[in-house]
Amino acid sequence: MTDKPLAPAVVAQAHERIAPFINQTPLFRSTLLNHWLGHEFVFKVEGFQKVGAFKVRGALNALLSLQEQGNLPDSVVAFSSGNHAQAAAYAARQVGVPATILLPADASRVKRQATAGYGAKVLVTGSRAEAEVKTTELQEQGAYLLHPYDNDWVLAGQGTAAYEALNAGLRPDAIFATCGGGGWLSGTYLATQLLAPGTPVYGAEPLQANDATQSYRSGDIIRFTNSPDTIADGARTLCVSPRTFQYLKRLAGFYEIEEQEIIYWTQWLTHLIKTPVEPTSAVAMAGACAWAKSQPEPRRVLVMLSGGNIAPQTYETIWAQDLLSVTPDRHIADEPI
Amino acid sequence: MTDKPLAPAVVAQAHERIAPFINQTPLFRSTLLNHWLGHEFVFKVEGFQKVGAFKVRGALNALLSLQEQGNLPDSVVAFSSGNHAQAAAYAARQVGVPATILLPADASRVKRQATAGYGAKVLVTGSRAEAEVKTTELQEQGAYLLHPYDNDWVLAGQGTAAYEALNAGLRPDAIFATCGGGGWLSGTYLATQLLAPGTPVYGAEPLQANDATQSYRSGDIIRFTNSPDTIADGARTLCVSPRTFQYLKRLAGFYEIEEQEIIYWTQWLTHLIKTPVEPTSAVAMAGACAWAKSQPEPRRVLVMLSGGNIAPQTYETIWAQDLLSVTPDRHIADEPI
């Protein structure tokens, strides 16, 4: 583990390591969407990944790396309100180590059940402070803290999704991914450096959770005090880490996305590619669409869709209005939604 | 065209005919669901079919058959508020014949756009009577009326979905499909007779739209006066036809499904198999689940999922409550939802 930038080859090594345990997820295109937008959008669909999100890639790479080194811990602890909880539980089971997952009190019942279903012990904690105390306690008893993004193995593992797309021969003009803690984007950047080094990689973030965009612009990590209010739950992180920021600084740019735009693309991508698209994933598509609009010629854009796990309450918010009545061709021509 | 029962081999011929124009759709399983229910449920996912539903199979088989016979009409007319509209438009374009699709005034804008997007002329009609007058007028001008189910080619084409599943070597203990006009079930029955003749095929229907179940029990076709009120829009047909009833009579049984149960499985299947499942498809799963519960030993059940096109208003109804909080293992143990 190091704070120095990783060599891009770590992503290929990670892919070889985790391949037996994950799904090689498909690349989807929508003929109708591409006709409407005049560009070729290619979607890497991590909703079809184990546990329904890319997160399992990084978690597996970390625990399998420890196993290779003969350093498998007695137990694993992770703290997450999102897909990382299920990913850590799934990965721990693969290496035969017990896991304790700390979930916040407001985590949905279906998430608790799924995490427990993967064999983990679930502890519901009242506050972030309480979770941190509990985590320290478990670490003192020998547990390995599996961080969702501030971990070299984790971010190398997240890069295996873009690696699969590029390794299959895809040559996009640009690549888009959503920024939470930055692990997904850091890995995607490394994979691109390895297999298609000239290709620009862009980040996208909810406008209401734009800490990474602000950090990118200012050159210093900006930290929010409170969890930002966005429907894209994967982007509610308070800040990126020095480890991920060293890659984020090298991206081609960041796009800030309004909430209504996130919901627009959540509805449309779910409708067109026939798989549930998390609002967090729709953020990347909105960024890709804004970029494509700026291009004088038809482009091929790889859009990394992070996952397909949506809480029932979020479904209700998404579908409380009908945004399918404005087709994407009219939407990019700025017809109001 | 005949009213006599078709030989099961017509389904194999239909598959050979339409194969170049359709997707061979996948078979999905959910490890978690099967663990919970103690049976193996296998889903044929027609949401991944062209136009997002099985309907394109029958429409293509009809128009390609006419083309083979040298009887391609000058134009095609179809009347539908559902997936058949897009299917007829798509199929007509494949054989290079103009199509006029009559849509009711309450059809969603996204459906009108999609149907027009496939190159069809869309006419919005105020009432069923008005649509019938317009259809007759177009037929007198030489248009071929592409009926959604009362057509031998159409029902043979619909059977190609079950044909693909069985032809891939799957040997289920039972097969479930939802009943609308009966074409989907008739074709499924024929495919089963051809490739796995001892296998029972069951129909499932919303309790509030149980005309086929009543017809099955009484031996005579029961016709509703008004379109039944169910969220499963594909099952809102008033009655089956003598053509489809001759197959429906031979099914192993019918299950009647309550609305809340339809919504329960719509939420859970969308959540577990990560593709939007129409309420009409969830009806079949609910029937399959009720059947499986009656079995003393673990069974393998093929559930035909008709499609994945869901109007925004329907999404809103589906997700207005959280049914994911009751897992299927507790649900089949009759925990209230």
Name A163's Cβ contacts closer than 8 Å, sequence gap at least 6: A11, A12, A15, A191, A194, A195
Pick the CATH number of B55-148 from 3.40.50.1100, 3.40.50.300, 3.40.50.970, 3.30.70.20: 3.40.50.1100
- In chain A, the residue whose alpha carbon lies closest to the alpha carbon of B275 is A275
Q: Please check the confidence at residue B1 and state whether its pLDDT lies above 60.
A: no
Whether B316 sits inside 8 A of A316 (CB atoms) is yes
Distance from CA of A106 to the nearest CA of B (A): 13
pLDDT band for A109, please (50, 70, 90 cuts): confident
Q: What's the CA gap between B180 and B203, in Å, rounded?
A: 10
- In chain A, the residue whose alpha carbon lies closest to the alpha carbon of B307 is A274
pLDDT in tens, A210-245: 999 999 999 999 999 988 999 999 999 999 999 999
CB count within 10 Å of CB A143 equals 21
Q: Is A106 on the interface with B (CB under 8 A)?
A: no
Q: Give the pLDDT confidence score for residue A107 in this predicted structure.
A: 78
Q: Please state the rounded mean pLDDT for residues A197-220.
A: 97
- Tokens representing A308? 């397909």
Q: Is A110 on the interface with B (CB under 8 A)?
A: yes
Q: What's the CA gap between B166 and A23, in Å, rounded?
A: 25
Please give the span between the terminal C-alpha atoms of chain B, in angstroms, as a whole number. Answer: 47
Q: What's the CA gap between B240 and B183, in Å, rounded?
A: 9
Asked if the domains B9-54+153-332 and B55-148 are classified in one and the same CATH topology, the answer is yes
Amino acid at A195: L
- CB neighbour class for B75 (10 Å; exposed up to 12, middle 13-18, buried from 19): middle
Name B309's Cβ contacts closer than 8 Å, sequence gap at least 6: B47, B51, B52, B53, B83, B86, B111, B276, B278
Of A126-130, A174-178, A235-239, B73-77, give the lowest mean pLDDT range.
A126-130
Encode burial over A26-64: b for 16+ CB neighbours within 10 A, e otherwise.
eebebebbbebbebbbbbbbbbbbbbbbbbbbbbbbbbb
Q: Is A237 on the interface with B (CB under 8 A)?
A: no
Q: Please check the confidence at residue A323 and state whether its pLDDT lies above 90.
A: yes
DSSP states of B40-78: EEEEEEGGGSGGGBTHHHHHHHHHHHHHHTT---SEEEE
pLDDT in tens, A41-56: 999 999 999 999 999 9
Q: Give the pLDDT confidence score for residue B109 in this predicted structure.
A: 79
Distance from CA of B124 to the nearest CA of A (A): 16
Q: Please state the rounded mean pLDDT for residues B71-83.
A: 93
Distance from CA of A28 to the nearest CA of B (A): 11
Q: What's the CA gap between B275 and A275, in Å, rounded?
A: 4
Q: Is A320 on the interface with B (CB under 8 A)?
A: yes
Q: Is B321 on the interface with A (CB under 8 A)?
A: yes
Of A228-242, B103-117, B161-175, give the lowest mean pLDDT range.
B103-117
pLDDT band for A127, please (50, 70, 90 cuts): confident
Whether B109 sits inside 8 A of A325 (CB atoms) is yes
ipTM of the modeled complex: 0.76
Q: What are the chain A neighbours of B110 within 8 Å (beta carbons)? A: 271, 324-325, 327
3-state secondary structure of B337: coil
Whether B324 sits inside 8 A of A48 (CB atoms) is no
To test the contact with chain A by mutation, choose from B30, B266, B271 the residue with the greatest count of A C-beta atoms within 10 A, namely B271
| Eight-state DSSP code of residue A191 | H
Q: How far is CA B162 from the centre of its chain?
A: 12
Q: What are the chain A neighbours of B324 within 8 Å (beta carbons)? A: 108-110, 312
Q: Is B307 on the interface with A (CB under 8 A)?
A: no
Q: Please state the rounded mean pLDDT for residues B331-335.
A: 84
- pTM: predicted TM-score of the whole model, two decimal places: 0.86
Q: What are the chain B neighbours of A318 within 8 Å (beta carbons)? A: 315, 319
A291 with A283: CB under 8 angstroms?
no
Of A93-107, A120-134, B259-273, give the lowest mean pLDDT range.
A120-134
Q: What is the mean pLDDT of chain B?
A: 94
Q: Please check the confidence at residue A1 and state whether its pLDDT lies above 70.
A: no
Q: What's the CA gap between B198 and B203, in Å, rounded?
A: 16
Distances (CA, A) of B160 to A34, A114, B50, B150: 29, 35, 14, 17
- In chain A, the residue whose alpha carbon lies closest to the alpha carbon of B110 is A325
- Tokens representing A206? 């909810």
B57 with B317: CB under 8 angstroms?
no
Of B68-77, B78-87, B245-254, B286-295, give the lowest mean pLDDT range.
B78-87
Domain definitions of chain B by residue range: 9-54+153-332, 55-148
Q: Is A168 on the interface with B (CB under 8 A)?
A: no
Taking alpha carbons only, the member of B210, B303, B193, B294 closest to residue B246 is B193
Q: In CATH, what is the architecture of A55-150?
A: 3-Layer(aba) Sandwich (3.40)
Q: Give the pLDDT confidence score for residue B3 in this predicted structure.
A: 67
Q: CB under 8 Å, gap of 24 or more: what pairs does A189-193 form?
A: A189/A159, A189/A247, A189/A248, A189/A250, A189/A251, A190/A6, A190/A8, A190/A10, A190/A11, A190/A155, A190/A156, A190/A159, A190/A247, A191/A8, A191/A11, A191/A159, A191/A160, A191/A161, A191/A162, A191/A163, A191/A166, A192/A162, A192/A166, A193/A8
Q: Is B324 on the interface with A (CB under 8 A)?
A: yes
The CATH number assigned to the domain with range B9-54+153-332 reads: 3.40.50.1100
Phi, psi for residue A170 in degrees, rounded to 5: -65, 135
pLDDT in tens, B112-150: 888 988 899 999 998 778 888 999 999 999 999 999 999
**Helix extents (H) in B95-151:** 109-117, 128-140
- Tokens representing B144? 């071929």
Question: Given A308, A313, A325, which is nearest B322 (Cβ)?
Answer: A313
Q: Is A281 on the interface with B (CB under 8 A)?
A: no
Q: What's the CA gap between B88 and A252, in Å, rounded?
A: 45
Q: Please state the rounded mean pLDDT for residues B226-250.
A: 94
Taking alpha carbons only, the member of A251, A271, A45, A236 closest to residue A148 is A236
Question: Given B108, B114, B319, which is nearest A312 (Cβ)?
Answer: B319
Q: What's the CA gap between B185 and B188, in Å, rounded?
A: 5
pLDDT in tens, B253-295: 999 999 999 999 999 999 999 898 999 999 999 999 999 999 9
pLDDT band for A165, please (50, 70, 90 cuts): very high
Percentage, residues of chain A above pLDDT 90: 83
β-partners of residue B303 are B43, B176
